[in-house]
Structure 1
Amino acid sequence: MSSDGLWSIGDLAERAGVTVKTVRFYSDRGLLPEAGRSSGGHRRYGPEALDRLRLIRSLRALDLPVPEVERVLDRDEALEEVVTGQLREVDSRLTALRWREASLRLLKDCPSEERAERLRLVGAVVMPPDTAALARFWRRTLPVRLPARTVSRVLDSVVPRPPRDPSPAQVLAFARLHELVTDPRVDRPEFRPAPPLPDGEYRPAVLYEGLAEAYALAASSAVVRGEALDCFVAAYAQALGAPDTLVFRRRLLGLLARTDGPAIHRYWKLATGLFAPGEPVLGALHHHLSVALRAEVESRAG
């Protein structure tokens, strides 16, 4: 320390346990306050520079980029924002690593003759995966007249969120699901997701609102019957402007049979295991309601 009680750049570096180059780097970026200059023009620092340097080291030890460190030093309240952002980034990295680990286990534990095919499937999916392709798959079948809020609710219900800690089987299911929805053949009429009702005049918003209520009722009961089934049929009847009669229910069975195409059937087969435990799976609920409707129609016909 000099006679004026200030430190040279070397003194500060030694006290902070860093290199002179490090001190110079932060000084050049304006992050370390200079208390003055020597007669020869060399930088001099006081205790506040040491405190600031220690704070910078603590922030950098958390892997904060220098621009983020600058934000924190400029505004005390920025620390919470920066930490929150870093937590999100770390969480994303950890999720990506878990998906990578599960993918490697999937390849390691599978029969050798299946390894190349599974590698191709897994290699086509980013990690952690996103669900944009799955959402596009469903948007192609939703009516253009559907309100945006209804579209958003439908997508939230039919597109599974990728598990944060997937099993190898879930990695494979998601990879196959991704392959299904990005297959160019899915746009062919025989593969394209079928609309919930045939072409013609009907009120799609009424249908989807009613189906959402029916699915919620079905999900809350271990046995699909009664109120849930009546609500399910009413959604279609009201959308078509038809009365709910036995004749209509027979007709509805035929309509439902035509909407369950191969692409939708495979989608739900693959997607079911990707939903969180206890989360309603609309494909399964729709199937159960359809089966319950058939059983009721057949019993009343007998």
Structure 2
Amino acid sequence: MEVQEIVTGGTLHGLVSIGELSRLTGVAVRTIRFYCDSGIVESTRTTGGHRMFDKGTAVDRLLLVRRLRALGVGLVAIAAVLTGEQSMAEALAAERAAVDVELGALAWRRASLRAIENATPAERATRLELLAEVSDGGSAHDSVVTFWRRILTPMPSDMFEDFRSMNVPDPLRDPTPEQVVGYAELVALVAEPRFAAVVSQQLWRPGPTPIRDKVGLLSGVAEACGMAESQIHEGRAPCSGRALDRFVDAHATARGERDTPGFRERLRVGLHDNDPRTQRYWRLTSEITGATITVGAGQLWLYNALDRSTGGPVSR
């Protein structure tokens, strides 16, 4: 049996009292009683009501429990290992994952304290208010993911996961003070009541013709952003070309229309792409992740190209 082999590699024999069991294992008598009441260790009673234990089984179990408890493994997990409901490897992996979460929260807290400590007097009150709303990197990440799930409601899970991996910063293992401030600002942005409406306007381009195929639109826009990536990376000015054509075609097809000069003009009306909040969101995302190009940068470049192609002013 896995449990026995880990502890002793063999079996002892006979019955022992609770005091003798305590001496053999180094586990306090009161703790052994608690383990008995919890079902961790089995015992029998003498006619006088004293607990007696099978020496081999009880010693093996108590030594295993003591060693796992020393590593911080909880009694529920230990009980599952002893009954065979969970393997030793599974229990240890779960405990390690929990430790990773705790370490991440501590790293976030340390960086937050440094961010406030190192702030100028003028910055300190703002940073304190901002960081007090975000307890750790995991909750910050969840807030941003939840925001995008609402915006991208029809997107299939695999497409959403691709979007999330590229455009939502992962929880930071060892963040810098600047990164926690930036992430906390992202959380504050997505919490603004009007921000979701601005982002939806930028993404869906609502107009006189309703969108019939949102998933197809998202896929087409993503493809257009990918086609424009090299031009953005090279610092080229927004211009007409295959990327813009694919972008407009995605919007037209999703509405059951054709790419015409009139459609392009309607598509550019009421742009929110230069809203400072959306630009700030994508700038912060780029700074946190280290990515040089984001979906936001791609969309902005394409909308600027659309402005130029329809004779409008090029956004800056």
- Whether these two folds match at TM > 0.5 is yes
Residue of structure 2 aligned with 1:208, choices 207, 215, 218: 218
**1: distance between equivalents of 2:113 and 2:170?**
21
**1:183 match:** 192
**2: distance between equivalents of 1:41 and 1:140?**
63
**1:162 match:** 171
- 2:36 is aligned with 1:23: no
**1:198 match:** 206
TM-score normalised by L of structure 1: 0.79
**2: distance between equivalents of 1:12 and 1:62?**
22
Task: Note the alpha carbon deviations across 1:20-78, whole angstroms, 9 max, x for none.
Answer: 112222122232233x5556342233132111110111111121111221111111643
Which sections of structure 1, spanning at least 5 residues, go unmatched? none
Which one is further off, 100-109 or 212-221? Answer: 212-221
Task: Note the alpha carbon deviations across 1:184-208, whole angstroms, 9 max, x for none.
Answer: 4547x7x675243132223333321
**2:282 match:** 268
TM-score normalised by L of structure 2: 0.75
**2:227 match:** 217
**Contact kept? 1:192, 1:263, Cα under 8 Å:** no
**2: distance between equivalents of 1:76 and 1:257?**
57
**1: distance between equivalents of 2:298 and 2:131?**
29
Residue of structure 1 aligned with 2:302, choices 280, 289, 300: 289
**Contact kept? 1:121, 1:179, Cα under 8 Å:** yes
**2: distance between equivalents of 1:235 and 1:208?**
8
1:143-162 alignment, distance < 5 Å: 146=154, 148-149=156-157, 152=160, 156=164, 158-162=167-171
| Identity over aligned pairs, percent | 36
1:245-256 alignment, distance < 5 Å: 247=261, 251=265, 254-255=268-269
Residue 249 of structure 1: how far off its partner (Å): 8.4
Whichever residue aligns with residue 181 of structure 2, its letter is L
**Contact kept? 1:106, 1:168, Cα under 8 Å:** yes
Which sections of structure 2, spanning at least 5 residues, go unmatched? 1-12, 312-316
Count of equivalent residues: 288
| Distance change (3 Å), C-alpha of 1:147 and 1:181 | closer
Residue 241 of structure 1: how far off its partner (Å): 4.2
**Contact kept? 2:268, 2:306, Cα under 8 Å:** no
Residue of structure 2 aligned with 1:40, choices 32, 45, 48: 48
| Distance change (3 Å), C-alpha of 1:63 and 1:93 | same
| Distance change (3 Å), C-alpha of 1:271 and 1:7 | same
**1:72 match:** 81
Whichever residue aligns with residue 200 of structure 1, its letter is P
